[in-house]
Every structure is written in C-alpha cells, then in structure tokens.
Amino acid sequence: MNRTTPRRSRSRLHTGVGVVLTAVMLFPVYWMVNVSLTPQNAMRKDDPSLVPLHLTFEGYSAVLHDQLPYLGTSFLIGIGTVLLTVAVSAPAAFALSKLAPRGGGTLSFVLVVAQMIPGIVMAMGFYAVYLKVGLLNAWWGLIIADSTLSVPFGVMIFTAFMRGIPDELIDAAKVDGAHIGRVFGAIVLPLSRNSVVTVSLFSFLWSWSDFVFASTLAGGSSLQPITLGIYRYIGNNNQEWNAIMATAVVASVPATVLLVLAQRYVAAGVTAGAVK
C-alpha cells in the first residue's frame, strides 16, 4: 500500500504536467480559432476576450469567397505530389531492399544527404532550371519540386518496411510464375499498406505547407497554393484579423483531419523496421 501511493502520486503529477504543457502548446491554436470568430470591432478592446462572446462567421464567409481557388490548387498539388512520391519511392525501395542492386548502399547514403540540403538552396536550383525549360509558374512544376523533399523520406520508410517482408514469400511467387513487376504490385505493395499511408500523409503535408518553393517557382502563376493565399491575404487585409485567422483555420483543417484518421497507420509505418 505504501508503494502504491507514491506511484499514484507520481502518475498524477506526470499527468498534470502533461496537461499543462499540452494546453500551453495548443493555446495558439485556440487563440487562432477565437480571433476567427471575434467581430472586427471587438478586437480593438484593450482587454481581449479569451472566449468569443459575440460569435461571427464573417471571416469564414470571406475565406469561402476569396480563398477557395487557393485551397483547390493546394489539393491538386498535394494529391499530385503523393502520387508521384509513391510511384517513385516504392519501386526504388523494393529494389534496394529485395533486389540488392550494385551501388545500393551509396544510393541510400545519397538519399540521406539529400534530406540535409536546405529548401531555399534547392529552390534556387529549381528556379534556374525551370527558367530554361519553361516550367516557372506551372502547378505541376511545384509537384515535381515538392516531390524532391518527400521521395528520399519515402524511400527510407519503404525500405525499412520491405526488408521485413519474408524473402520466402517473394521466392514462392516467382516459382508460381509471377514476374518481378507482379510480385511488387500484387504482394509487396499491398503488404506495405502502413508505409504507403505514412509516406502519402507526410508528402501531402509537406506540399500543403510549402511556401519556399511556391513563392520562388509559382509567385506569378494564376494557380497558387493556400500558403501564398494566406501571405497575400495578410498583405491585402492586414486589419481584418478575423478573416486572416479564419483562413489559417481552414488551411489547418485538412492536415488535422488526415493526421487524426491516419495516426494508427503512421505509427506502424514509422516504426517499421526499427526492431528486427
């Protein structure tokens, strides 16, 4: 009994500390929602209200009127980045993990190094190349650029997971007459579902939140992502803070929903290959 009481006390203390830290970290998110629902004239008070007493949705109405094209472009770029990332990284990881190509170790090292290159450096390189080939201000040029950030990560995640797939399963499929493409498409890829969800989620989030590539490569495009929409909205409506915060809330919803829905698969995909 004497041992149980201190344990319960420590557990309650840890829980209390965790709740306080979580509240501190989430307070900016709450304040963003609070301001988005606060009338414009109520923001000029000396003592701001911690709770919106007079709710208004005029900020969200402005978002639906002004920001829907940016949201649509971000979805288009995000989905394109996911498809391109999975299409490139999954076969590459299958080759590295199961086919043992010559120079595979060097390629894996290069992929790790590629993730250390600052985004602004890559953006300048892409700008020089896109300027010559005519890809500036093209939405599918952003898909290619965003994929360069997610493909190395995708290859690492897929490789770690696919190494855990028994070689006997692949050998049995080959004995039955399946060619290597069918082995990958019918056996390896379905078994890698958790990794597919993990890579897809992070690819989408990276492209959804990208600002460096978007401002460098698509600053003059008619189809711009939501990050540029928020940036320009702040410049054009720097006094309408409820509309600005409503834009930020709307832009955060897809990422939040995806994280909540896919967290189980993400945990399994990220930890795959960690313990073998």
Enter the pTM of the model: 0.82
Residue 49 lies in a domain: no
Same-domain check for residues 264 and 178: yes
Q: Are residues 95 and 24 in the same domain?
A: no
Contacts of 219 (CB under 8 A, 6+ apart): 137, 228
Same domain, 11 and 129: no
Are 118 and 252 within one domain?
yes
What pLDDT score was predicted for residue 167? 85
Residue range 76-107, pLDDT digits in tens? 999 999 999 999 999 999 988 888 778 777 88
Same domain, 92 and 167: yes
pLDDT 10s digits, 185-233: 888 888 888 889 889 998 999 999 899 999 999 877 778 898 888 887 7
164, 242: one domain: yes
For residues 164 and 188, the answer to whether their CB atoms sit within 8 Å is no
The arithmetic mean of pLDDT across residues 114-118, rounded, is 81
Show the domain range for 215: 60-271
Domain count within the chain: 2
In a domain, 264, yes or no: yes
For 150-170, the pLDDT digits (tens) are: 999 999 889 888 888 888 888
192, 153, 87: which is closest to 183 by C-alpha? Answer: 192
